[in-house]
Amino acid sequence: MSLCSKLLALLRKSRALTTTSTAAAAAATASATASANGMEEAVAAAGPLRTRVCIIGSGPAAHTAAVYAARAELKPVLFEGWLANDIAAGGQLTTTTDVENFPGFPDGVLGAELMDRCRAQSLRFGTKILTETVTSVDFSARPFRVASDDTVVHADSVVVATGAVARRLHFAGSDAFWNRGISACAVCDGAAPIFRNKPIAVIGGGDSAMEEANFLTKYGSQVYIIHRRNAFRASKIMQARALSNPKIKVVWDSEVVEAYGGGEGGPLAGVKVKNVVTGEVSDLQVAGLFFAIGHEPATKFLGGQLELDSDGYVVTKPGSTHTSVKGVFAAGDVQDKKYRQAITAAGSGCMAALDAEHYLQEVGAQEGKTD
């Protein structure tokens, strides 16, 4: 065979191998695609998840409810959300640093670490946690329907523990000094060493602002209430308490336009305050700035299916976590506009789980119905 003939034979053999390889690759791709489609179809065919208790939330109330429900063998499913209300799973505690008033931690604990521990405890007892945000619910029929973009859960009972988000103001430096002098919870943070015997400012004009300003006088050398109007909207009795306190001074018709520090990487050192009438900007040296302009409960996803009060909080029957719909319970800050503490939220989460368990016993759903 000539050299040319040999080269031609090798070329034909190479083309044959390439064709075979390409065909095999195409077959493998088709097989993988079919397998993936089959898995998706299998998931779809499986239908909604079924549970005795579905918990919506990721803070102390939600995880306490989950621990109690799981230990009662109710096999709870918990939606912890994916950046729900622009906050990571774990709720508002994930936005704080040291938590010093939660029992069991004499040296304090980081807010994020506390919530990691709560989550781990929920998992330990068998809670199924979905990192998805609930977008809709249907409480008009049994079982109740709770849905995210990816998952539908049918539940015999539901615990709503979605919390409430503190309203914040945004101005130059407000994000940079968040948790470094700027806070939205005087009760949580006011006793911190960085505020003791130093001037502090509170922004707001309602009852919450009056209450927090009076509370902060226990620790600060002077407390300023900065209000953008020339009169408070707080109740007369709360105004009287604040205005009669010698350590409180009111800065009327003003708003904060900037927060600044005393050195690179240091905490808050002061704020610039603008008079909304004259336009004059003045400097106010303070070690702390507290937003007291209210909270927004995370209840919009409920679509009006539960009774809410005038501020949007879920209404519960006194002394319980029962809502206006039998079998649906509410715990934590989503139904508490007064205390708003991690420990009170955890306590109401326990109440919600026990209320749900008793409800399921009453309707006969606890035995064999959802296994």
List pLDDT tens digits, range 302-350: 999 999 999 999 999 999 999 999 999 999 999 999 898 999 999 999 9
Show the CA angle centred on residue 367, arms to residues 361 and 371, nearest 5°: 130
The beta-strand segments (E) located in the chain are 49-56, 77-79, 98-99, 109-110, 128-130, 136-138, 144-147, 152-160, 164-166, 182-183, 199-203, 222-226, 248-251, 254-261, 268-275, 281-284, 288-291, 295-297, 328-330
Contact 160, 334 (CB under 8 A): yes
Residue written as token pair 């009287």:
240
Once rounded to an integer, what is the mean pLDDT over residues 143-158?
A: 97
Q: What is the percent of the chain where pLDDT is above 70? A: 85
| Spatial distance between the Cα atoms of 176 and 160, rounded to a whole number of angstroms | 33
Lowest-pLDDT range, 7-11, 87-91, 119-123, 367-371?
7-11
**All residues at 6 or more sequence positions from 292 whose CB lies less than 8 Å from its CB, including other chains:** 184, 186, 202, 203, 204, 206, 208, 209, 211, 212, 213
| Strands 136-138 and 98-99, bridge-based pairing | unpaired
**All residues at 6 or more sequence positions from 184 whose CB lies less than 8 Å from its CB, including other chains:** 166, 167, 168, 290, 291, 292
Contact 331, 65 (CB under 8 A): yes
| Spatial distance between the Cα atoms of 50 and 122, rounded to a whole number of angstroms | 18
Label residue 264 by pLDDT band (50, 70, 90).
Answer: confident
Strand (E) or helix (H) holding 16: helix 3-46
Strand (E) or helix (H) holding 46: helix 3-46
Once rounded to an integer, what is the mean pLDDT over residues 232-261?
A: 96
State the burial class of residue 272 (Cβ atoms within 10 Å of its Cβ: 0-12, 13-18, 19+).
middle
Structure token digits, residue 188: 């949580």
Strand (E) or helix (H) holding 42: helix 3-46
Look at residue 96 in the predicted model and tell me its pLDDT: 76
Domains of the chain (ranges; CATH) run 49-166+295-363 (3.50.50.60), 182-291 (3.50.50.60)
Q: How many CB atoms lie within 10 A of CB 47?
A: 9
Q: Which residues are catalytic?
A: 185, 188-189
Label residue 4 by pLDDT band (50, 70, 90).
Answer: very low
Q: What is the percent of the chain where pLDDT is above 90? A: 73
Once rounded to an integer, what is the mean pLDDT over residues 216-225?
A: 97
The pTM of the full predicted model, rounded to 2 decimals, is 0.74
